[in-house]
C-alpha cells in the first residue's frame, strides 16, 4: 500500500497508534513470528521480516513497543524500517494479577488502567444481566467496615460481591457499635478483621485512614470514602483530596457510557465544591483526558478550593468559575449536581442556609441543555434536583448509581482474582 509517510508509535496490546515520520514510502505490517529480540531481558533492537501484505500487528507478550529513530535495519524485501525499543507497561492480560494491591485514591489510576477497568465493568454488566449465578468469587469473603454511615455505598458493595458468588460480613456504623467505641485503634481493628475476610471495604471519618489501613493489612483494602472534606490530607503532586475514588471511577465510567467519549467534553460541577469528595476526585480524573473544560458553579461559601484549580492549570485543563448555571447548562455535555452538605458546616447553620437552595436543577435548566447532555448526581439528593427532572432521559443519576455496581464488581474481581 503506497504511502507518503511512515510511522513511529506506541504499540499496546491490540492497538497501533501512529505518529508520522517523513521519508518512508511503504506501510509495513508485521506478525509476532517476524520479531527477533537480541536480548532476553531488556530488548533495545529487533529485526523483522515482512512480505508487505495485509495483516494485523499482534503483540503477544506483556510489554509494549515504541518505534524510535535509531539505526536502520533491513527486511527481506529490502524495505527499511527502524529499531524498536521495548518498555515495561502494565499487563491487562486475562489471568494476570491486578497491578494494584489496594484501591485508596484517584491518583492510582492512569488512562490505560481506567480504560481496562471499564472494559471489565462492561463484562460485569453482562454477567449481572445474563448470568445471575456467577461463581467468579465463590469462596471469597468481603468485610464492609463502615465508621461513617452510607447505606447506598455499603449495599452496592455487598450486592457486587454476592452477584459474583462471594459472601459478606458487614457493619453499618463501626464508629459507634464496634471496639472503636472502646478505644481500639484502627490498626488493631484492621488486623482483627483481616483474619475473618479476604478483602475489606472501609469508609471512615478521618482523612488518611484508608492509607493507614492499607499499610497495616495483608489483604486488599478498598476506600469507600475517608475524611470529612474540610481537613484533607496532603498528597503527592501538590494536590489535596478528601478521597472518594470509587465514586470518581463510576462517574468517569458513566460519562463515557452516556456521552460516548471522555476527551473533548465540557463538564459543569455544581453545588458544594469545597466539601464534596466526589467533585474533587472527579476533577482530578478528568485531568487525564484531552481538551476537557470544567465549569465550577457554587455558592461563595463552598467554592472549589485553589488546590484543585492549580492542579488543573498545571495539567493544561481549562476551567472557569461562574455563577450563571443557566449559561453553563447550555454549554455542557455533563451537568454534575451535588447537594449542600449540612453535616460539613458544624455549628455554622447560617452559612449552610446561605448556600442551600441557590442552584437548583429544574425543568427550566433542563430546557437549555443540549439533547445529548446528561445530568448526574452522586446521591442522595435533597432539593437540588426537582423530581420532575427524573422522567427526562437526560437524567442519568439513577443509571449512574447502577453503574457503581458494575465498577465495584470489576474491582472486587480484579483485586481478588486478577484480570
Which one of 82, 154, 163, 203 is the catalytic residue?
203
**Which residue among 82, 144, 153, 288 is the active-site one?**
153
Please give the Cα distance from 374 to 389 (Å, whole number): 11
Q: Which of 122, 152, 261, 363 is catalytic?
A: 152
Catalytic member of 22, 56, 129, 182: 182
Q: Is 182 a catalytic residue?
A: yes
Residue 204 bears catalytic tag? no
371 is catalytic: no
Among this protein's residues, is 240 annotated catalytic?
no
- Annotation says 152 is catalytic: yes
Catalytic residue among 231, 261, 348, 363: 231
- Smallest CA-to-CA distance from 6 within 392, 22, 401 is with 22
Instruction: Give the residue numbers marked as catalytic.
Output: 152-153, 182, 203, 231
Amino acid at each position: 500500500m503506497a504511502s507518503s509517510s511512515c510511522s513511529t508509535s506506541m504499540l499496546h496490546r491490540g492497538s497501533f497508534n501512529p505518529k508520522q515520520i517523513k521519508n518512508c514510502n511503504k506501510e509495513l505490517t508485521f506478525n509476532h513470528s517476524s520479531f527477533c529480540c537480541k536480548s532476553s531481558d531488556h530488548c533495545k533492537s529487533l529485526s523483522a521480516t515482512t512480505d508487505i501484505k495485509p495483516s494485523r500487528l499482534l503483540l503477544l507478550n506483556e510489554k509494549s513497543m515504541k518505534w524510535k529513530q535509531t539505526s536502520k535495519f533491513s527486511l527481506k524485501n529490502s524495505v527499511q524500517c527502524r529499531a524498536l525499543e521495548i518498555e515495561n507497561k502494565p499487563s491487562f492480560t486475562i489471568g494476570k494479577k491486578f497491578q494494584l494491591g489496594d484501591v485508596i485514591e484517584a491518583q492510582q489510576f492512569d488512562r490505560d488502567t481506567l480504560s481496562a477497568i471499564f472494559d471489565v465493568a462492561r463484562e460485569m454488566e453482562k454477567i449481572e444481566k445474563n448470568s445471575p449465578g456467577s461463581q467468579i468469587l465463590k469462596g471469597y469473603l468481603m468485610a464492609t467496615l463502615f465508621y461513617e454511615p452510607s447505606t447506598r455505598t455499603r449495599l452496592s458493595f455487598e450486592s457486587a460481591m454476592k452477584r459474583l458468588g462471594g459472601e459478606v460480613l458487614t457493619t453499618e456504623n463501626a464508629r459507634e457499635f464496634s471496639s472503636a467505641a472502646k478505644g481500639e485503634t484502627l490498626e488493631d481493628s484492621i488486623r482483627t478483621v483481616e483474619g475473618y475476610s479476604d478483602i475489606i471495604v472501609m469508609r471512615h471519618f478521618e482523612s488518611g485512614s484508608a492509607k493507614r489501613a492499607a499499610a497495616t493489612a495483608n489483604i486488599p483494602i478498598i476506600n469507600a470514602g475517608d475524611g470529612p472534606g474540610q481537613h484533607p490530607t496532603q498528597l503527592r503532586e501538590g494536590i489535596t483530596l478528601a478521597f472518594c475514588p470509587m465514586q470518581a471511577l463510576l462517574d468517569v465510567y458513566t460519562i463515557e457510557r452516556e456521552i460516548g467519549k471522555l476527551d473533548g467534553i465540557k463538564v459543569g460541577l455544581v453545588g458544594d465544591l469545597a466539601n464534596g469528595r466526589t467533585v474533587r476526585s472527579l476533577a482530578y480524573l478528568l485531568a487525564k483526558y484531552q481538551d476537557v473544560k470544567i465549569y465550577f458553579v457554587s455558592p461563595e461559601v463552598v467554592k472549589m478550593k485553589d488546590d484543585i484549580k492549580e492542579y488543573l492549570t498545571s495539567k493544561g485543563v481549562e476551567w472557569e468559575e461562574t455563577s450563571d448555571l443557566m449559561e453553563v447548562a447550555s454549554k455542557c455535555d455533563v451537568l454534575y449536581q451535588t447537594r449542600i452538605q449540612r453535616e460539613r458546616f458544624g455549628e455554622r447553620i447560617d452559612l449552610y442556609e446561605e448556600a442551600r437552595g441557590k442552584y437548583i436543577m429544574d425543568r427550566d435548566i433542563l430546557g437549555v441543555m443540549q439533547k445529548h447532555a446528561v445530568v448526574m448526581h452522586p446521591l442522595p439528593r435533597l432539593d437540588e434536583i426537582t423530581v420532575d427532572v427524573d422522567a427526562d432521559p437526560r437524567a442519568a443519576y439513577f443509571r449512574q448509581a447502577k453503574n457503581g455496581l458494575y465498577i465495584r464488581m470489576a474491582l472486587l474481581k480484579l483485586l481478588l482474582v486478577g484480570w
